[in-house]
Amino acid sequence: MQKKKIAVLFGGCSSEHEVSRVSAFSVIQNLPRDKYEIVRVGITKDGRWFLYTGPDEKIPTGEWEQSDEKKRAFLSPDRGIGGFVVESSEGFTTLPVDCVFPVLHGRNGEDGTIQGLLELSGLPFVGCGTLSSAVCMDKAITHALLSNAGIHCANYLWFFRTSYTGDGIRKIKTKIEARLGYPVFVKPANSGSSVGVTKVNSEAELDAAVAAAAAESDKILVEEAVCGQEVECAVLGNTDPKAAPIVGEIVASAEFYDYDDKYKNGTSKLNIPAHLDDDVAAQIRTTAQRAFRLLGCRGFARVDFFVRNGKEILLNELNTIPGFTPISMYPKLWDASGVSYSELLDRLIQLSFQDDAQDFKK
């Protein structure tokens, strides 16, 4: 059987660039080599694309960017190309691929932008399409759609960063006090990995928190601080998605599960399975599947929840390209459920070839 050629995209113009490199290295190391030929395409933080042919070990450190073993390359939206245009000594050549695996986190990778380019190219690709990626990336839109469907989320409000000036500051502070009270979490509405997220205990701390969030997004989300367990559910599939039988729980070592706690300190604790009653875990899995379908997801997503008082379930967010680092919850939950890392990656690629993942070709 001829091997399928899989292009792994990593890096990107995002505050989560470094996390993407680590995730991509892990994916590349675990893709079944007997079934797939791997093409590695890195995107620098300033948006330059390269076909990289050097050692995998230089990807997570960022050393690949200084390597001589790379050539300028870009994905062509021309369906007659079916892949990448690559710089060569003669000018440019084409590199057809069978599937693209975007291991990109945050803006310009998880928000529908790269998915739109991939849909134009007509290539199968792993994960959600343009609309669902964009919807899930914007937490304000996600909350509005889920709440309208009767799926409970934390109480929240949102505003544009341009509204937080002059008289608008006092109006927004008044609304936060009246609707939410303190403490609250201030977040960029469309960023990930807890970048730009601040826990605010009083009005005096609000200006700095809004500034931090505004550096990442033009839309700011303010949520009540939920006192409860943070749990995560892994969903896999297209039109008939399945949730992993085991739900996981995050026990943060910091005040909340922030960027350093996720990716630098390594001191947070993962409880697999989560410390939940069986009926609560079952409800979380059902709700995760429902939200996945409601928001038009396909391929995979990690659905994050809060559980208050051991019973009340609040959906926090859907991550359409969850982390694939060695400590990431998504692959760990499937592994605990009997699906190895390599098998999981194989399933994700196979899902991208199914007819219900390729509506954009019709």
3-state secondary structure of 125: strand
Smallest Cα–Cα separation from 295: which of 182, 53, 133, 175? 133
Dist. CA 101–CA 6, nearest whole Å? 7
Q: Kindly state the percentage of the chain with pLDDT values over 90.
A: 86
Q: What does the pLDDT look like over 24-38, one tens digit per residue?
A: 999 999 999 999 999
Dist. CA 305–CA 318, nearest whole Å? 9
The predicted pLDDT at position 359 comes to 60
Partnered with residue 302 across adjacent β-strands are: 234, 319
Domains by residue range for the chain, with CATH: 4-125 (3.40.50.20), 135-152+227-361 (3.30.470.20), 156-224 (3.30.1490.20)
Least confident interval from 109-123, 228-242, 249-263, 297-311: 249-263
Cβ neighbours of residue 219 under 8 Å, at least 6 residues apart?
138, 140, 158, 159, 160, 161, 188, 189, 190
Inter-residue contact 186 to 200 (CB < 8 Å): yes
145 pLDDT above the threshold of 70 = yes
The predicted pLDDT at position 260 comes to 52
Which residue has tokens 């943070």?
230
Inter-residue contact 126 to 345 (CB < 8 Å): no
User: β-strand 299-308 against 312-319: which pairing, if any?
Assistant: antiparallel
pTM listed for this prediction: 0.91
Helix (H) or strand (E) holding 286: helix 278-294
Of residues 356 and 120, which shows the higher confidence score? 120
Q: How many residues does the chain have?
A: 362
Q: What does the pLDDT look like over 193-202, one tens digit per residue?
A: 577 899 999 9
Under the banding of pLDDT at 50, 70 and 90, the label for residue 267 is low
